[in-house]
Chain A
């Protein structure tokens, strides 16, 4: 239909149209077209002019460049103006839609980053094995138990024992305890505050490092102990030749001030060349024993005082000798109790930490690469990583933005089409 109407006009139609144009331009027309010329003039003459009042008002508004004059405008005009303002600002609507889309994208990306963040820490931080999936899956399950595990000291101790036993039994147990580490390390309780609650704490840590890095890790362990004011009670480092799975290992028996134990564990868990394979925390409440020792000491002191008073009032040599013997015995007992209490106090104040480092294949965390200064190669590596991450983010953003943009374009087209159709319908209805 449209195509047929786009065809060249019929000569007769064209002649009449030209006659109309000539008439409106005040030019003479062919007498054959006199009727249509007359009609054209009559039609032009039916044109009505706006009222004087309207033209003055509109002239004034134009002179003010349509700056609102609220007092002069009728409510209808104001409503019209508001309608006009909104309907004539597609840029504003576009900006609003764009802003909304940007917020959605940012939210999606941010939520993605947040949800992947802890998982990355849990998996990447401690260890990345070939069994990564298994580990991370179990991690998710155990994470949910972290709260209950850490709140009840006795049950936690029981779990620790289980983990400790399991950790020596192979890979499956290894992954389980590893999870405990990842999830518990930030929330492990510090029941000690040590002496106040009379709790003896202990911990075991298993680390994995490439065979060639055993010495470096051992040195890092010593450094951490030194930093935390601990002491190395026993250590053994065995270096063996071979690949990453070579037989090198190291063991450390450490004594760490209880108040520094958690920080020490944190430092140990983030060594440059090692990843945590498992971690076990143990606690033992010795409040009863501590109180009993204190009572014994008080009793012994009371006995000694009584014996001393009796000794002052003794007359006979045999009585004096007997009292002195009892006094000596009491002092020995008192000394023994005090030694036991001091020992207990030491155990409370200093926690035992067993660290075992085994050789094994791991992917070193990025910090290992960052910790030894600037090199061109490292900078290039970092640059590539940054580019890869940026490209990933851009890809994700595109993946979100493109469908959103298409939807927005489609919605805008539909809205335009609907509005145009309604206008046409309104015209037809008129």
Chain B
């Protein structure tokens, strides 16, 4: 690989970093439920991506699923290393954009907290699916690529996870 190609590969990775940093963090945080570990794993994921950028083959897929695959493995390695479930770290006061369909602010906060709590109680596999879809913003095809399943399979899994979450949110407290 000559200097020009190296420079191009680095520029592509830098662009990927800028567009995906927060998505990767959000996904890893949902998986690990530990903000400190999520920061470490996010950094490790990007460093691994940097080291492996020359091995990335565009013909085998897009860059975002490739990056999330690396982040996923790093997060699972972290989970394996810890051998335990991290303490749930949820910031109920996290300020976010308001959904257009909901008007009442108190009700919004209440429902958001309920969703967050329900999400935290889901199995890790479902949590991961929902994080990849709703927090990292991956398409179903990209999600399938990260998980190593077919697209229809990914859709089915996602639908099941959404149904579980919906059920958990609507469950009487």
User: Are both chains from one complex?
Assistant: yes
| Residue positions of A touching B, CB distance < 8 A | 2, 5-9, 13-14, 16-17, 20-21, 24, 34-51, 54-55, 57-58, 61-62, 65-66, 76-77, 80-81, 84-85, 87-89, 422-430
Within 56-115 of B, Cβ neighbours of A (below 8 Å) are at 73, 76-77, 79-80, 83, 85, 91, 94, 96-97, 99-102, 111-112, 115
CA distance A301 to B123 in the complex (A): 120
Instruction: Report the minimum CB–CB distance from B71 to chain A (whole Å).
Output: 12
Within 111-143 of B, Cβ neighbours of A (below 8 Å) are at 111-112, 115-116, 119, 123-125, 128, 130, 133-135, 137, 139-140
**Could you list 4 further interchain pairs (A-B, Cβ under 8 angstroms) beyond the known A427-B76, A429-B79?**
A5-B157, A44-B135, A49-B25, A426-B77
- Find the residue from A54, A427, A430 having the highest chain B CB count within 10 A: A430
**Interface digits, B24-59 against A, CB 8 Å rule (1 contact, 0 not)?**
011001011001001110111011101110000000
Cβ-defined contact, A20 with B153, below 8 A: no
Cβ-defined contact, A66 with B76, below 8 A: no
**Interface digits, B138-171 against A, CB 8 Å rule (1 contact, 0 not)?**
0110000000011011011111001001100100
CA distance A13 to B156 in the complex (A): 8
Q: A48-B94, A61-B43, A88-B48 are in contact. Are A8 and B152 (CB under 8 A)?
A: yes
Q: A42-B112, A58-B21 are in contact. Are A47 and B128 (CB under 8 A)?
A: no
Cβ-defined contact, B51 with A85, below 8 A: yes
- Number of residues of chain B lying within 8 A (CB) of chain A: 67
CB < 8 Å: which of B40, B50, B99 contacts A65? B50
Chain B residues near A76 (CB-CB < 8 A): 40
| Residue positions of B touching A, CB distance < 8 A | 10, 14, 17, 21-22, 25-26, 29, 31-32, 35, 38-40, 42-44, 46-48, 50-52, 73, 76-77, 79-80, 83, 85, 91, 94, 96-97, 99-102, 111-112, 115-116, 119, 123-125, 128, 130, 133-135, 137, 139-140, 149-150, 152-153, 155-159, 162, 165-166, 169
CA distance A329 to B99 in the complex (A): 146
Instruction: Report the minimum CB–CB distance from A199 to chain B (whole Å).
Output: 75
Instruction: Report the minimum CB–CB distance from A252 to chain B (whole Å).
Output: 73
Cβ-defined contact, A38 with B101, below 8 A: yes
Query: Would you give 30 A-B contacts (Cβ < 8 Å), ordered by A?
Result: A9-B159, A16-B159, A17-B158, A36-B166, A39-B166, A41-B101, A43-B130, A43-B133, A46-B94, A46-B96, A46-B119, A47-B22, A47-B134, A47-B135, A48-B94, A50-B22, A50-B39, A50-B42, A54-B42, A62-B46, A62-B50, A66-B47, A77-B40, A84-B47, A87-B77, A88-B47, A426-B77, A427-B79, A430-B79, A430-B85
CA distance A47 to B39 in the complex (A): 14
Cβ-defined contact, B134 with A80, below 8 A: no
Chain A residues near B26 (CB-CB < 8 A): 47-49
Instruction: Report the minimum CB–CB distance from B139 to chain A (whole Å).
Output: 8
Cβ-defined contact, A39 with B115, below 8 A: yes
Number of A-B contacts (CB under 8 A): 171
List the 7 closest A-B pairs by CB distance, nearest first: A423-B76, A43-B134, A426-B80, A430-B124, A426-B79, A41-B99, A47-B135
Chain B residues near A61 (CB-CB < 8 A): 43, 47
Chain B residues near A84 (CB-CB < 8 A): 44, 47-48, 51
CA distance A155 to B165 in the complex (A): 99
| Closest B residue by C-beta to A37 | B101
CA distance A195 to B31 in the complex (A): 94
Q: A34-B101, A47-B26, A76-B40 are in contact. Are A429 and B85 (CB under 8 A)?
A: yes
Cβ-defined contact, A62 with B14, below 8 A: yes
Chain B residues near A87 (CB-CB < 8 A): 48, 77
Instruction: Report the minimum CB–CB distance from A261 to chain B (whole Å).
Output: 68
| Closest A residue by C-beta to B78 | A426
CA distance A57 to B44 in the complex (A): 13
CB < 8 Å: which of A40, A54, A426 contacts B39? A54
CB < 8 Å: which of A20, A24, A89 contacts B51? A89
CB < 8 Å: which of B77, B94, B162 contacts A423? B77
Q: A24-B137, A80-B40 are in contact. Are A45 and B112 (CB under 8 A)?
A: yes
Q: A46-B116, A50-B21 are in contact. Are A16 and B162 (CB under 8 A)?
A: yes
Cβ-defined contact, A13 with B46, below 8 A: no
Cβ-defined contact, B124 with A427, below 8 A: yes
| Closest A residue by C-beta to B94 | A48
Instruction: Report the minimum CB–CB distance from B154 to chain A (whole Å).
Output: 9
Chain B residues near A427 (CB-CB < 8 A): 31, 76, 79, 124-125, 128
CA distance A5 to B38 in the complex (A): 32
Cβ-defined contact, B99 with A45, below 8 A: yes
